[in-house]
Chain A
Amino acid sequence: MYLRKLALAGVFALMGSTAMAACTFENAVPLKSLSAAFEAWKSATTAMAECGNLAAELDQEFDKKQPEAFAANPSLYQIGGVSNGSITPLMNAGTIRSLDDLVAKYGAGLAPNQLIKVDGKIMAIAMMVNTQHWMYRKDILDNLGIAVPTTYDEVLAASEKIKAAGVVDYPLGATMGVGWNLGEEVNNMFMGFGGEAVNADGTPNVNNEMGLKTLNMLKSLTAYMDPEYLTADSTYVQQQFQQGKIAMANLWASRAGAMDDAAESKVVGMVEGAAAPAAMAGGAPATTLWWDGFVIAKNISDEEADAAFRVALEGIDTEMVTAHNEDAVWLISGYTPGRLAAGAFATAALNPPPYPSTAAMGVMHMAMDGEVGAFLKGERSAEDTLVAIEAAYVKGAKDAGILK
């Protein structure tokens, strides 16, 4: 599936006019796009490509290339797929253009909440939202008479019961792989306890009560996980779910659809979604809201921008959404939330914070990611770990110019 899109560049020359049927116009301007590679982007870029002359590059490490590729003059790509995290370097460097004119010209079909405004200017068009939410095996919880947990303390209690019953290999799954995922989990929990990791002046603020609670909660959770959790990413956890090895996990909404894919999953129809648990009773869910969407490069001609915008809009139209309804929680009209999207909606209803995408948070995220592993492995105390996170942050922040 994925390779097909990856190799699109080669195929488009062959596609000729037969594929144009799905697009309302024929694009004559050669265009390139760079985005992430998960299912929703595959669907969107394939639909864009139907207009012709688009080379879509899908790369899960797109964020390593994007800042520099968009800073080049002329920009190497016209269309960029971003999330609220990866838009930050592009915004900061001023390499994407404001879309107000183009939206006025072509964007009649867009819903108001798809327009991502920064300082009053539309800078991106969102196509979907994503959040980590609670997925669980309904059959197991029902059989053991466990209510769906709403706080992490309840998660621990439920895990204990599932472990005692011995029905699955591990009660919990978690995306705690070092590299990016662990930092995300730490920050989720920290914000869930009401923390804000970076002060307004750019100094770190994790060495406190909330930091301690975060670390201790994460450590308690790991007792119910596959001991290889420090290498687990979303695909790994998704696979554990599909093979019936785990009973619950805080997993991305974009992964929910895979649970009901009969060709891969042994648990079709058994997995349900609920709101992400809160870290403390009465608090907001310990998770963050994300969106994914596209931006248009600044360093290109207006004609190219015009064509790029129209092509990108074709990729996120109602026709695409009806064909790929289960791939994501779409923001596009025509989307009907399925059974597995319920958890994402329940999470959003409880108002978790959006991911704080700033230069400082980028550094903090990787500092958490790099330092917490040693604590979870038991090589370092919680207090020392919090000091280490702050020290790592300060070094990175100096390199990034945030601190002097």
Chain B
Amino acid sequence: MKFKTFAAFVAPSVLMMLIFIAVPLLLVFGESFYRTSPLMEVVEFESCTPGFGTQTCKTDTKIAPALDASRRMILQTEFVGFENYADVVEPQKFWTDVKALDWAQLMDIDFWRALRFTLTFTFITLPLVLGLGLALALAVNNLTRSLRGPVIFITLLPFIITPVIGALSIRWLFVGEGILTRAMEAWSGTDIAMFAQSWTIELLMMFYRVWSSAPFAFVIFYAGLQGVNQDAVEAAMIDGASRWQRLRFVVIPYLMPLIVFVALIHLMDAYRVFDEVVGLRTQGHVISLQYLTYDFLMPDDAGNRSVSRAAASSMLTMIGIVILLVPMLRRTWADQKGRA
């Protein structure tokens, strides 16, 4: 294919990704080395509060943004180097805690706490999603043809349901005296509060993620199973391979590219875990890396937001995912080289 034709074909797609992904990303990268803040001044002001019937007024001083001639806030930008990163990572405290082997103190720093959860979440759900997906695919593949349709339909439900709604419905089932919490209480005979401590919340978040992601793995693996070479399976059987050996040495190797594909997608999606934090409202106990950035970005009551720290934390988040992806990327790289 000539370069010109190639360029014409990919241009719209590449252009959209450049404008809406690459450019914002570069801006964020730049931002992470600067601190932008409004110029503040001390002003004296009189404010009145409506009492019940009478109004109380008082004069006070406060620190408020200075405004220029056209009544706009004056923004100052200064280069701070890696200070934003240091504010997020707190390297000094990190080293002291690491040297003292003080895990609790280390988890006091939001960034490390978020990283700890994000990684645990990603690596615990990964094998569960792959395993459940594969088990479902094998089981459905065994089913008589007439039952496959309805079972596939039900299996796909958790995947298609709107994530925010799905997370909320899980929350309802468990929060307070939610129906499933009561069921567990009746069964175990103890008082259970799922949202009272971090580990049960993390368990719920992982349960939700496996529940909603396994169907994707299932449908990919199931489609893959349709293409398994029956001759190879029969040949293995004639050689005396047991059922498990046939699965292990014929079917799984055949599905390997798909397993890698699903693992890749799951790594990416689980690493940016966010819907669970918002939907299950866990920020009092558990936060994730993407939530940390979001939290920095959201303005407080007075409209302050920490854009620079958000930029730094999102860059760190990005570095993290690139590191996680390196083995996968190398594999893809090798594949591509081989193909070309």
Contact = CB atoms under 8 A, between A and B. Distances in A.
A231 interface: yes
A88 B39 contact: no
A64 B38 CA distance: 18
Contacts of B317: none
Interface stretch (A15-23, A113-121, A307-315): A113-121
Interface in B22-76: 35, 37-40, 42, 45-57, 61-65, 67, 71-73, 76
Interface stretch (B146-154, B264-272, B294-302): B294-302
A63 B303 CA distance: 8
Contact of A85 (B56, B104, B301, B308): B301
A228 B302 contact: no
Contacts of A67: 299, 303
B234 interface: no
Given A236-B176, A379-B104, A395-B87, A362 B304 contact: yes
A200 interface: yes
A373 B281 CA distance: 14
B209 interface: no
Interface stretch (B10-18, B117-125, B223-231, B282-290): B282-290
Nearest to A353: B49
A94 B45 contact: no
Contacts of A118: 45-48
Nearest to B65: A92
Nearest to B64: A92
Contacts of A119: 45-46
Given A64-B298, A379-B104, A400 B50 contact: no
A395 B307 CA distance: 12
B50 A231 contact: no
B282 A231 contact: yes
Contacts of B108: 374, 379-380, 384, 388
Contacts of A401: 37-40, 65, 76
Given A348-B52, A396-B306, A399-B35, A178 B283 contact: yes
A145 interface: no
Contacts of A188: none
A202 interface: yes
Interface string A99-137: 000000000000011111111100000100100000000
Contacts of B110: 370
A331 interface: yes
Interface string A156-189: 0000000000000100000001111010000000
A226 B176 contact: yes
B301 A231 contact: no
A182 to B, nearest CB: 7
B46 A362 contact: no
A43 interface: no
Given A113-B54, A354-B49, A179 B281 contact: yes
B218 interface: no
Nearest to A331: B50
A94 B73 CA distance: 8
A373 B57 contact: no
B46 A360 contact: no
A388 B299 CA distance: 20
B50 A358 contact: no
A318 interface: no
A112 B55 contact: yes
A357 B304 CA distance: 12
Nearest to B70: A94
B196 interface: yes
Nearest to B309: A399
Contacts of B301: 63, 85-86, 88-89, 180, 357, 361-362, 365
B311 to A, nearest CB: 11
A245 to B, nearest CB: 8
Contact of B193 (A91, A226, A379): A226
Contacts of B309: 395, 399
Nearest to B84: A399
B78 to A, nearest CB: 10
A363 B304 contact: yes
Contacts of B71: 94, 298
Contact of B64 (A115, A345, A358): A358
A399 B303 contact: no
B303 A117 contact: no
Nearest to A67: B303
Contacts of B111: none
A349 B54 CA distance: 11
B302 A363 contact: yes
Counting chain A CB atoms within 10 Å of each CB, the highest count among B71, B110, B281 belongs to B281
Contacts of B42: 200
A147 interface: no
A11 interface: no
Nearest to B87: A395
A126 B50 contact: yes
Interface string B170-202: 000001110000000000000001111110000
B265 to A, nearest CB: 30
A117 B62 CA distance: 16
A174 B285 CA distance: 17
Nearest to B104: A379
Interface string A354-396: 1001111111011000100110010110001000100000011
7 contacts: A64-B298, A86-B301, A89-B299, A179-B281, A230-B284, A363-B300, A395-B309
Given A89-B301, A178-B283, 7 more contacts: A227-B196, A230-B195, A291-B49, A379-B108, A395-B309, A399-B37, A400-B40
The 8 lowest CB-CB distance pairs between A and B, nearest first, are A89-B303, A362-B302, A178-B284, A230-B284, A401-B37, A227-B196, A400-B304, A94-B71
Interface of B: 35, 37-40, 42, 45-57, 61-65, 67, 71-73, 76, 87, 104, 107-108, 110, 175-177, 193-198, 281-285, 298-309
